[in-house]
Amino acid sequence: MVRFGRPLDKTLASGFHLKAPWDRALKVSLAQRTTKLNNLAPITKDNAMLEVDASLTYHVSDARKFLYANDNPMETLDTIVNAYLRGEIGRRDMAECTSDVTEINKALLSYLQQGEVDGESITAQFGIKVDFANIDRINPNEKIQESMDKKIAADNETSAAIITAEGQKKVKLTNANAEKEMQAIVNEKELAQAINAAKMMETDANARAKAISVENEAIQNVAPEYLQNKQIESYNHLADGENNTVIVPSDKLGSDIATYTALNTISQNN
């Protein structure tokens, strides 16, 4: 109630009331409402300027204080929130601010509800109780965002180049391993062929040696008469050619009838 411009120590509840003509009743809604706090500009610990929009859901808890304790309670609330966010965000770097929005919301609401001045909460001094606080938007400003976009693009290009290089390296390594394995297979095949060839040569040599051994044993066991007959046959064949001069060791002349007979035969043919 106001009388002649001065507030009275009297608050009327909702409903029908009688008042003096010179008194005036000021209406204050006690319903819950929301206010927007836009374009806040706190700075992070790493000196990045952010653009922050917040919203507060509140209701008037004391109509008299809301009307008379503060000339502009909503502007005061805006200032309090802005100051708190500057301190709260200033303790974090930019990455933490964008990832810890929920924690910032909790801290802001706790400060507005439980922070005390002269035994009252900060907002209770001017008849307001904040029910809910929310950071709607928290982004770097335009220049920082451009720098971040460029950095992200550069990082992506670097990552792509690294991935491409690693892929090419893996392909080359795979090809090299494949060539190495193929060469190993070829070497094993050639080694196996060489071993087989050596075994065949060894088998052939053993067979020849065996044959020679058998032949030598057979020759050793042949009777002297067989060799003499072979010698006579050889002399007889000499007569078939144009050059039939035969040289016979002197110690054999006249000592062997068969030799004499063969020479006689050669002489007759000439």
* 145 falls within a domain: no
pLDDT at 234 over 70: no
Give the number of domains in the chain: 2
* 87 falls within a domain: yes
Q: If DSSP codes are grouped into helix, strand and coil, which group holds residue 220?
A: helix
Whose CA is closest to 50, among 139, 146, 145, 135? 139
As a whole number, mean pLDDT of residues 13-25 equals 58
* 235 falls within a domain: yes
Highest mean pLDDT among 135-144, 212-221, 251-260: 135-144
Taking the CA atoms of residue 162, residue 167, residue 172 and residue 174 in that order, the dihedral angle to the nearest 10 degrees is 140
Q: Which residues pair with 52 in a beta bridge?
A: 40, 138
pLDDT digits (tens, 9 = 90+) for 171-180: 888 888 888 8
Same domain, 136 and 245: no
Same domain, 27 and 127: yes
Where among 117, 140, 163 does a domain terminate? 140
* 146 falls within a domain: no
As a whole number, mean pLDDT of residues 58-78 equals 84
What Rg do the C-alpha atoms of the chain give, in angstroms? 61
**Residue 266 contacts by C-beta under 8 Å, 6 or more apart in sequence?**
235, 236, 238, 239, 244, 246
* 68 falls within a domain: yes
- What band does 263 get if pLDDT is binned at 50, 70 and 90? low
Q: Which residues pair with 138 in a beta bridge?
A: 52
Same domain, 23 and 132: yes
pLDDT for the residue numbered 210: 80
pLDDT for the residue numbered 253: 47
Whose CA is closest to 96, among 40, 146, 46? 46
Structural domain containing residue 244: 224-269
Same domain, 14 and 113: yes
* 126 falls within a domain: yes
Same domain, 135 and 241: no
Alpha helices per DSSP H over the chain: 63-68, 73-90, 94-99, 101-114, 142-220, 224-238, 257-269
pLDDT at 167 over 60: yes
Instruction: Match 């000196």 to its residue by tokens.
Output: 47
What CATH number is given to the structural domain containing 100?
3.30.479.30
Where among 105, 140, 175 does a domain terminate? 140
pLDDT at 65 over 70: yes
pLDDT digits (tens, 9 = 90+) for 104-160: 999 999 888 887 766 678 888 888 899 999 998 888 776 665 665 566 677 777 888
Where among 140, 168, 195 does a domain terminate? 140
As a whole number, mean pLDDT of residues 218-223 equals 65
The token duo for 236 is 């007889």
DSSP 25-63: PPP---S-EEEEEEEE--B-TTS-BEEEEEEEEEEES-H
* 187 falls within a domain: no
Same domain, 244 and 130: no
pLDDT at 26 over 70: no
Instruction: Match 């974090």 to its residue by tokens.
Output: 92
Same domain, 126 and 239: no
pLDDT at 224 over 70: no
pLDDT at 5 over 60: no
Same domain, 118 and 238: no
Quote the percentage of the chain above a pLDDT of 70.
64
**Per-position b or e across 85-95, b if 16+ CB within 10 A of its CB:** beebbeebebe
Whose CA is closest to 263, among 25, 108, 249? 249
Same domain, 11 and 129: yes
Taking the CA atoms of residue 123, residue 124, residue 129 and residue 134 in that order, the dihedral angle to the nearest 10 degrees is 20
pLDDT digits (tens, 9 = 90+) for 35-60: 998 888 888 888 888 888 999 999 98
Same domain, 118 and 241: no
CB distance 23 to 3 below 8 Å: yes
What's the pTM value of the predicted model, to 2 decimals?
A: 0.48
* 23 falls within a domain: yes
Name which residue leads in pLDDT, 131 or 181.
Answer: 131
Whose CA is closest to 70, among 111, 127, 115? 127
